Chains A and B, each alone.
Chain A
Amino acid sequence: MRMKQAMKGHEPRSSSSCAACKLLKRKCTSNCIFAPYFRSDEPKKFAKVHKVFGASNVSKILVEVPEEQREDTVNSLAYEAEARLRDPVYGCIGAIALLQRKMVELQHDLAIARARLARYAVPAVSSSSPSVLMDENVGMVSFDDMPCCSGVNESFGQSSSELTQIQPMNDFGQFPYVF
């Protein structure tokens, strides 16, 4: 009995488990898919992701993406989960609506500014004529199948979906949390 108790102190400590395995109360294996991204010192991160998506679904998503993109995947899932927990109705979509509304306002202001600038420009040299109100490089993200949300619907574009053509970005360092 005393031997068993003494040996207990030499057993693998639960603190070596990742946050996911700790929450799920299971042994954290050496090839645990969660371990690299849900460290034991960040328990809330996995708790939120688990609550919204479920450990099984997160695992399936991670398995489907290349290993070098898993960290970004986890970070974006964590952001979405946080947004959904804070706003159970709109989640991330609320942020998208606000940003798109802001973009429309700024595009309008840019058009006005360019029209005013055109008044000053020499007609023969002008490169920003009043007819060119929108820069081709500054396109609008357009959405299809947007939620029919009374609170956000007016903010969404009605043109065809570009979801599949949006290029994902890798830098989350300068990505503020909008809530």
Chain B
Amino acid sequence: MSSFSRCAACKYLRRKCPQDCILAPYFPSSNPQRFVCVHKIFGASNVTKMLQQVPGHLRAEAAECISYEAIARVQDPVYGCVGIITQLQQQISQIHSEIMKTKGEMIAHHCAHSQHHPPPQPQGDPSWSISLHQQQQDYSQSDEHLLRKY
């Protein structure tokens, strides 16, 4: 790569960008800020080593993840992307509580519904009562599945 088309890394490091620059494919000159963050948090040397340790076909993803971690750390120097993990875990816990609460309400309603609406006795057209009974069972079974899941 000529000096006129250096990658963002080599531009920032003020060095010549060789043809086989390992950073060039992942830090194009069009996005200089990305490498600035990566360099600030990990350092060019560490990033180069990390990418070298990864198979070639996975380097793009590795570079993306490293960049994301660096940006997150620049924006939140204390927790970085670990703060995101913590928040996600809390949200999952909250949703789980909501599901359990809803489950409790479903059970309560289900019992009340069963008590007040017992299955009808077969009268007249058997197919109608079976259909309604089957529908109630279908609801019950699908609700049971949902209730059992948690």
A residues sitting closer than 8 Å to B (CB atoms) are: 51-54, 56-57, 60-61, 64-65, 69, 72-73, 76-77, 79-80, 84, 88-96, 99-100, 102-103, 106-107, 109-110, 112-114, 116-117, 119-121, 128, 135, 137-141, 145-152, 163-164, 166-169, 172, 175, 178
Contacts and interface: CB of A to CB of B under 8 A. Distances in A.
Q: How large is the interface on B (under 10, 10 to 19, 20 to 34, 35 or more residues)?
A: 35 or more
A57 B62 contact: no
Interface in B78-136: 78-92, 94-96, 98-99, 102-103, 105-106, 109-110, 112-113
Contact of B98 (A52, A69, A135): A135
Contact of A147 (B65, B75, B109): B65
B84 A166 contact: yes
Contact of B65 (A54, A64, A93, A107): A93
Contacts of B94: 137-138
A56 B67 CA distance: 19
B77 interface: yes
Contact of B80 (A76, A139, A147, A152): A76
Contact of B91 (A88, A91, A103, A178): A103
